[in-house]
Amino acid sequence: MDVRESVSLRALTTLKVGGTARYVIECASIEDIREGVAFARACGLPFRPLGQGSNVLALESGYDGVVLHIRIPGIAFEASGDTVTATIGAGITWDVLVDVAAARGLWGLENLAGIPGTVGAAPVQNIGAYGAEVADTLSAVEVYDPEQDAIHIYRNEECRFGYRDSRFKQERHLIITKVTFTLLANGTPRTHYPDLEARKADGASLETPADIARVVREVRSRKFPDLTQYGTAGSFFKNPILSQDAFAQLEARYPAIPRYEVAGGTKVPLAWILDHVLALRNFAMGPVSLFERQPLVLVTNEGASAHDVEALATHVASLVRDATGIDIEREVQTFV
């Protein structure tokens, strides 16, 4: 068992803030996870899984427990007619999977290219972008349940997927070990999202999964900061979903506001509110700011702390509430 003591959470999370984890255990198998859980219990400490830390905020107080650093490998494909089942280890980098599937000409994941993190973390957040989300192609999730010392498999309909939500976000004791996707050998490009339509109108080829993945990354590169230069967790807040009445009141005040009809109501792009209503593009408080090309993205610079992130995020939420009456929610989860 590979156990490290007093490990900086800045080095394990993409926001690059936070204190120290008491222990970190590298877990490349379910048996490693079992041993890590047993170690934590023997020490009387809590434990939490962590992938690449791309959607978490580590606090300055650190984590007085055991971080189970999930590194389970494995990529396997099994074809049955036009359908291909992809079974993927939780530690595989998400974008690696997107590229491997696209190189095989398999449809289903290409619109999610460029999203940081691991395959195991993807269902927790039900990651989504450019008109697609993980729930569209996921068929099953294998988890280790430390409370029962058992392995369970949850089918798609049992995962309780919602907008940036799932049962795994609520039942945090479940540790994802493997994810299975159903992909298509003969699929149809999903290019109805405005950014992709604009690139297609400019002459970009969107005929294959690899084409779409490439163009999605090009679009993302114009909106999202370089992880080698900034600390960021991508979109820090969720886009709010409003009732018809609430949206009608908002539209009366801001007639140009975009809208997307979704299950449960009308989704409003928060970036539009931050930019056009509040003029917060590139807004900064100390070493933390909203990204100049996409105000939904919070970035940290040298010397930033979790306290700085909390201060800016809380201030932005207050400004949005005062201007629109909307209480926004975070995508990023606090690591406690």
Q: Considering the candidates 26, 35, 329, 331, report the single residue annotated as catalytic.
A: 331
Residue 125 has pLDDT above 90, yes or no: yes
Cα 211 versus chain centre, distance: 23
For 237, the token pair is 């807040």
Residue with tokens 């109501």: 265
**pLDDT higher at 223 or 150:** 150
104 is catalytic: no
Position 296 scores a pLDDT of 95
331 is catalytic: yes
Q: Which amino acid is at 41?
A: R
Identify the band that residue 237 occupies on the pLDDT scale cut at 50, 70 and 90.
Answer: very high
Q: What is the mean pLDDT of the chain?
A: 96
Alpha-carbon distances, residue 19 vs 15, 61, 193 (angstroms): 12, 5, 39
Position 55 scores a pLDDT of 93
Q: Considering the candidates 164, 199, 289, 305, report the single residue annotated as catalytic.
A: 164
Q: Angle at the Cα of 140 (from 136 to 41), degrees rounded to 5?
A: 125
Position 228 scores a pLDDT of 84
> pTM here?
0.94
Residue 274 has pLDDT above 90, yes or no: yes
Structural domains of the chain in order of their starting residue, each with its CATH number: 2-70 (3.30.43.10), 75-222 (3.30.465.10), 226-335 (3.90.78.10)
Identify the band that residue 28 occupies on the pLDDT scale cut at 50, 70 and 90.
Answer: very high
Identify the band that residue 226 occupies on the pLDDT scale cut at 50, 70 and 90.
Answer: confident
For 173, the token pair is 């004791």
- The closest alpha carbon to 274, from 253, 260, 295, belongs to 295
Q: Considering the candidates 54, 235, 289, 305, report the single residue annotated as catalytic.
A: 235
Residue-wise pLDDT tens digits, 50-107: 999 999 999 999 999 999 999 999 999 999 999 999 999 999 999 999 999 999 999 9
Residue-wise pLDDT tens digits, 296-326: 999 999 999 999 999 999 999 999 999 999 9
221 is catalytic: no
Rounded Cα distance between 162 and 142, Å, is 19
Identify the band that residue 227 occupies on the pLDDT scale cut at 50, 70 and 90.
Answer: confident
